[in-house]
Amino acid sequence: MTKLYGIPNCDTVKKARAALDARGIAYEFHDFKKLGVTETLLSGWLKQIGWQKLLKKTGPTWGKLPAEVKASIVDDASALALMLAQPNVIKRPVLERKGRVLATGFNETEYENLDI
């Protein structure tokens, strides 16, 4: 099963959902706000794509962090701790199938070329 992780009111998540729906791709939506995110799940993603691709450095949550906290994010472990404490810093959406990350964020061309 294909899973899309994010928060429902995020514009980028809405675009990704619309793109999947338009292609008739069935998916399960996992709402970070309601269902949370586990250390195991995040660790698996980090092993696949690294913290630089998974950490969202735009948006109000990152912007409000103290400079010393931002400067302390230097590897998967430090990013993992922040993402567990502040799930809004996870780049959204994360598209996954059978445990493999297919995409982070939304890129229309990338979604059009998904091999699902």
Catalytic center residues = 10
The string of DSSP codes covering the chain is -EEEEE-TT-HHHHHHHHHHHHTT---EEEEHHHH---HHHHHHHHHHH-HHHHB--SSHHHHHS-HHHHHT--SHHHHHHHHHH-GGGB-S-EEEETTEEEEES--HHHHHT---
